[in-house]
Structure 1
């Protein structure tokens, strides 16, 4: 995980004119070609780019590395990402580095992720960390449509401040909304709304007990429920969980969900890497190791 070495507490903040806000958009379409997956369509706008490294080849899958050439997201910026895995294709999407959400002048940044997995296809959404600086303000929406016999894996880790620098996400706003549908029917809905005195809120034992990092993992697949015990064993549930980690895993209706909460993002990162193989992936994307 890489972050800028500059502090995030400069003041005062000057307002940036709306016309200077960044608006990024990228669309990646993957198609099956025999036993391989190839790029069907690519659209890029603003600072959003996608690259397909040869070193990222994962058997028959196509690996897309998303890049924000702006170096992060500031208040009022908007990023829209659309990933399409056509019938029989296997698309793996990750990011070049952690996505940094900087201190806002009051404007809200928006992140929209739209995923489509057609029948018999597989889509692994595996971005690196999202890091929120103090006073960041962001709304994120993740929407997905999973068709019959398809497989979708979502792994989303979030760091609230840069703990290594003694920073906290004390004030600001984070609104996170997930909506997953299978054949048009809503099967998973999740929401997180943090605002106001966030530091005080997260210190409450019933909420986060001071934790600064969390992750949500969701697998929608025909074999999702059968993977539950292996995932729990990899995490050390129920009795051998790492002392600075809180985690839970459950499975129902063709889905497997994992929640992780930790004071240290490094501890949480290790837990994610332990369970990744149990979710049907041999290894995390190569760029995770860079």
Structure 2
């Protein structure tokens, strides 16, 4: 089910500055169905500014590519978005976004994003949105939950960039909380959390934390063959001795999972590293929208 977590109490004066009519509440529920050698859309429910479209894709993988659109052009304080994607037995689904999602400066309220992914036995779901870009002063609360069948495959690729680095922007102050909970066969197998709040820029400037680098990503693969891909991913990144100077990375694998952490000097460097990693994770082709 989609998360019904309530917003934390906010200062009343701040809330009053944002007219309720300007807050966008998007929701998308979608299921993909396996049909012999290909995958077709099943039930679709759309509300608010969130839409899904299906360009011709999957030429090499046979997967259905679902591209998410936010007709609002970004998200601001008080906006919410909830996504539920279900890959039915035998389905191969790749979900991505039309462009990087921009989270604008907040006048007080937080932007809330909830993602719920369900992958049935024999199905495959690659969740590969383009980067989430936080403008200075943005306040974001995000939750990602997934339920994966024991013989299913789930790939999560989640890049975040603090500020538009190509323009020299800096995320000096704001909030980002991120909560991941992944279950396989009903058992919790992965839990992760991130909490950045207040004078974030000065904290990230510390060399032991992020040395001022604003772009980072988590990649998580849950699949029967996940652990066998460890050495190939490390080699693609140049680990342990040939890692480029403009990126930090760590890769580990255990219990049918593979995890990659990336920290980069800017968004372009992060994107290059992500493409190198994804190429070793059994993805036959990147989403076509990534090439536009």
Class of the TM-score when normalised by the shorter of the 2 chains = over 0.9
CA distance in 1, matches of 2:291, 2:21: 37
Question: Structure 2 regions of 5+ residues with no counterpart?
Answer: 1-14
1:4 alignment partner in structure 2: none
Cα contact 1:63–1:92 (8 A) shared by 2: yes
CA-CA distance at 1:283 after TM superposition: 2.2
2:10 alignment partner in structure 1: none
CA distance in 2, matches of 1:43, 1:244: 42
Match of 1:188 among 187, 190, 194: 190
2:12 alignment partner in structure 1: none
CA distance in 2, matches of 1:189, 1:160: 23
CA-CA distance at 1:18 after TM superposition: 2.8
2:62 alignment partner in structure 1: 60
Matches within 5 A, 1:121-270: 121-270=123-272
2:75 alignment partner in structure 1: 73
1:106 alignment partner in structure 2: 108
CA-CA distance at 1:34 after TM superposition: 1.1
CA-CA distance at 1:58 after TM superposition: 4.9
* SS of match in other structure, 1:283: coil
* SS of match in other structure, 1:215: strand
Q: 1:69 to 1:58 in 2, by over 3 A?
A: farther
CA-CA distance at 1:277 after TM superposition: 1.7
1:88 alignment partner in structure 2: 90
2:277 alignment partner in structure 1: 275
Cα contact 1:14–1:105 (8 A) shared by 2: no
Cα contact 1:77–1:108 (8 A) shared by 2: yes
CA distance in 1, matches of 2:49, 2:229: 38
Measured against aligned partners, the alpha-carbon deviations of 1:111-164 in whole angstroms (never above 9, x if no partner) come to 000000000100000000100000000100000000120000000000001122
Cα contact 1:56–1:286 (8 A) shared by 2: no
Measured against aligned partners, the alpha-carbon deviations of 1:28-51 in whole angstroms (never above 9, x if no partner) come to 100111121111111100000000
CA distance in 2, matches of 1:267, 1:175: 24
Q: How many residues align?
A: 279
Measured against aligned partners, the alpha-carbon deviations of 1:243-270 in whole angstroms (never above 9, x if no partner) come to 1100000000000000000111111111
Q: TM-score of the superposition, structure 1-length normalised?
A: 0.94
1:49 alignment partner in structure 2: 51
* SS of match in other structure, 1:279: coil
CA distance in 1, matches of 2:200, 2:16: 23
CA distance in 1, matches of 2:95, 2:29: 11
CA distance in 2, matches of 1:204, 1:122: 39
